[in-house]
Amino acid sequence: MTMARRHPIFSAIYDLFNAPAEYFGMREARAKIVSGLHGRILEVGVGTGLNLQHYSAGATVIAFEPDLTMLRRAVPKLDGARANVVLVAADAQMLPFKSGSFDAVVATLVFCTIPDADAALAELRRVLKSSGAMHFMEHVRAPGQFGASIQDALDPLWSRVFAGCHPNRDTAEAFRRAGFRIEHFEHRQRGIVISGTAVPAS
Ligand SMILES: C[S@@+](CC[C@H](N)C(=O)[O-])C[C@H]1O[C@@H](n2cnc3c(N)ncnc32)[C@H](O)[C@@H]1O
């Protein structure tokens, strides 16, 4: 198992680099994913905390992240949060939480980067209640052969520049392998951005 490396430069430019995308729709997409959630929520790879302002008052959010250079940039976002948010240093591949202890899992733009996404999904499946759901938004492998082959060609350079992000992962398939059933699904940008809800299959 590989612990996440620290990426101080990526962390420092992350919010600025994402600002145009946030302005042109990502902010609303984040709000749509998390604002209706209640109970005890686990956010995976919280990064610089761009989702935190969107959770509702009354929710309890345990938001974790293994890269401390990212996590420290999430700390100022706590001031704008209405929910009760706790930031934790942890790795999705080996979670320090009891089985069945969360009502919901939130994952945005993380399964592209987690070194062993299958191990992480097995852990998330374990800590999620059987009545719970995982709410996701991910960029994934292009549905067509042409787009996917471009992603495959870009992957070695892309992953170096973007802190271990792999543009060519079939994340929906990884959800199914881990025992999740995709209940609600939307895609945009020619199928390379997917969002929706996945629930324990049994
Ligand atoms: C592209 S950033 C997304 C950050 C945030 N979720 C967002 O929506 O802006 C990917 C994040 O995944 C985190 N990550 C990498 N490996 C991880 C792991 N093993 N467990 C949890 N998070 C991880 C990275 O440190 C980084 O913060």
pLDDT score of 61 more than 70: yes
| 11-36: pLDDT as tens digits | 999 999 999 999 999 999 999 999 99
Query: Which band of pLDDT confidence, cut at 50, 70 and 90, is reported for residue 72?
Result: very high
C-alpha of residue 40 to centroid of ligand 1, in Å: 20
Cβ of 47 closer than 6 Å to ligand 1, yes or no, is yes
If DSSP states are collapsed to H, E and C, what string results for the chain? CCCCCCCHHHHHHHHHHHHHHHHHHHHHHHHHHHCCCCCEEEEECCCCCCCHHHCCCCCEEEEEECCHHHHHHHHHHHHHCCCEEEEEECECCECCCCCCCEEEEEEECCCCCCCCHHHHHHHHHHHEEEEEEEEEEEECCCCCHHHHHHHHHHHHHHHHHCCCCCCCCCHHHHHHHCCEEEEEEEEECCCCEEEEEEEECC
Quote the ligand 1 centre to 67 CA distance (angstroms).
8
**pLDDT score of 3:** 55
The rounded Å distance from CA 103 to ligand 1 centre is 21
For residues 57-69, give the mean pLDDT. 97
Structure confidence by residue, pLDDT tens digits, 78-97: 999 999 999 999 999 999 99
Any ligand 1 atom below 6 A from CB of 167: no
- Reported as a single tens digit per residue, the pLDDT across 100-123 is 999 999 999 999 999 999 999 999
User: For ligand 1, atom 16, which residue shows the shortest CA distance?
Assistant: 114
pLDDT digits (tens, 9 = 90+) for 114-161: 999 999 999 999 999 999 999 999 999 999 999 999 999 999 999 999
pLDDT for residue 4: 64
pLDDT given at position 177: 97
